[in-house]
């Protein structure tokens, strides 16, 4: 099964660069990436992104924390482009499940990327609410789960199995920690993996032999020892 690579980034110069790559099939952003990129006005900055990338899917996240605010932002964001997926967290910051808003937006045919998901139990809660027509991405945060000593793989296996009945649902491997995660996600049957630019470039260089890697590693150590003028 093929897996799509989405570039996880909000810097305009990098979006221009990576939008030209055939390997990149879409973009994901979040408020933290927007802030890091220096965005001051969320709407105008988002529209700059959409001007660069006007055909591939782009996920733009709400940042309100209560029902009314989330709904208002989601409806507005949805109007910014036909390729927009409105990114909605599975819960708000207080841990309240956003089921009501997920159901309502889905019934209004608004494409969603439901984010900050960690478990198959959460995936099931989402699937219980949505129709089988409007496109939905479920973003499961593998790296952040792994950072806490939890194995995300069983949650992906269960989530992918649960979503098989929904042709409109894609499971996304989020929070990549290393290029090998791409192969893991592919082997599991994930539909999408969202990857930062530096890791995409490493994935493009897949295929080196162990002998090549050994030679390159030893050469790098040798170069650094000479630059430092080390002597024993």
Distance between CA atoms of residues 199 and 59, nearest Å: 19
Report if residue 230 sits inside a domain: no
* % of the chain surpassing 70 pLDDT: 100
Q: Is the pTM of this model over 0.85?
A: yes
Whether pLDDT at 140 is above 80: yes
Check if the beta carbon of residue 130 is closer than 8 Å to that of residue 90.
Answer: no
pLDDT at 176: 97
pLDDT at 54: 96
Check if the beta carbon of residue 197 is closer than 8 Å to that of residue 7.
Answer: yes
Q: How many domains does the chain have?
A: 1
Any idea what the CATH number is for the domain that residue 136 is in?
A: 3.20.20.70
6 phi and psi angles, rounded to 5 deg = -105, 140
Report if residue 108 sits inside a domain: yes
pLDDT at 1: 64
Report if residue 227 sits inside a domain: no
How far is residue 210 from each of residues 121, 182, 183, 206, 220, measured CA to CA in Å? 40, 19, 17, 12, 15
Tens-place pLDDT, residues 195-208 = 999 999 999 989 99
Tens-place pLDDT, residues 18-56 = 999 999 999 999 999 999 999 999 999 999 999 999 999
Range of the domain at 46: 4-207
CA angle 121, 127, 133 (to 5 degrees): 160
In the structure encoding, which two tokens stand for residue 49, read together?
Answer: 């992104």
pLDDT at 9: 98
Q: 185 pLDDT band (50/70/90 cuts)? A: very high
């Amino acid at each position: 099964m093929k897996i799509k690579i989405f570039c996880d980034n909000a810097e305009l110069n990098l979006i221009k660069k990576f939008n030209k790559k055939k390997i990149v099939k879409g973009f994901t952003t979040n408020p933290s990436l927007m802030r890091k990129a220096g965005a001051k006005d969320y709407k105008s900055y988002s529209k700059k992104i959409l001007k660069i990338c006007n055909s591939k899917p782009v996920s733009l996240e709400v940042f309100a924390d209560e029902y009314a605010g989330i709904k208002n932002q989601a409806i507005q964001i949805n109007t910014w482009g036909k390729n927009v997926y409105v990114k909605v967290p599975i819960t708000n910051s207080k841990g309240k499940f956003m089921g009501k808003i997920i159901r309502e937006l889905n019934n209004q045919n608004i494409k969603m990327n439901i984010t900050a998901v960690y478990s198959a139990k959460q995936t099931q809660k989402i699937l219980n609410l949505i129709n089988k027509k409007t496109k939905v991405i479920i973003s499961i945060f593998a790296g952040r789960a792994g950072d806490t000593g939890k194995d995300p793989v069983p949650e992906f296996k269960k989530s992918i199995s649960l979503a098989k009945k929904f042709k409109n649902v894609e499971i996304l491997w989020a929070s990549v920690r290393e290029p090998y995660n791409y192969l893991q996600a592919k082997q599991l049957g994930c539909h999408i993996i969202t990857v930062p630019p530096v890791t995409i470039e490493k994935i493009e260089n897949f295929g080196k032999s162990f002998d090549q890697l050994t030679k390159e590693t030893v050469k790098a150590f040798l170069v650094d020892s000479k630059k430092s003028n080390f002597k024993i």
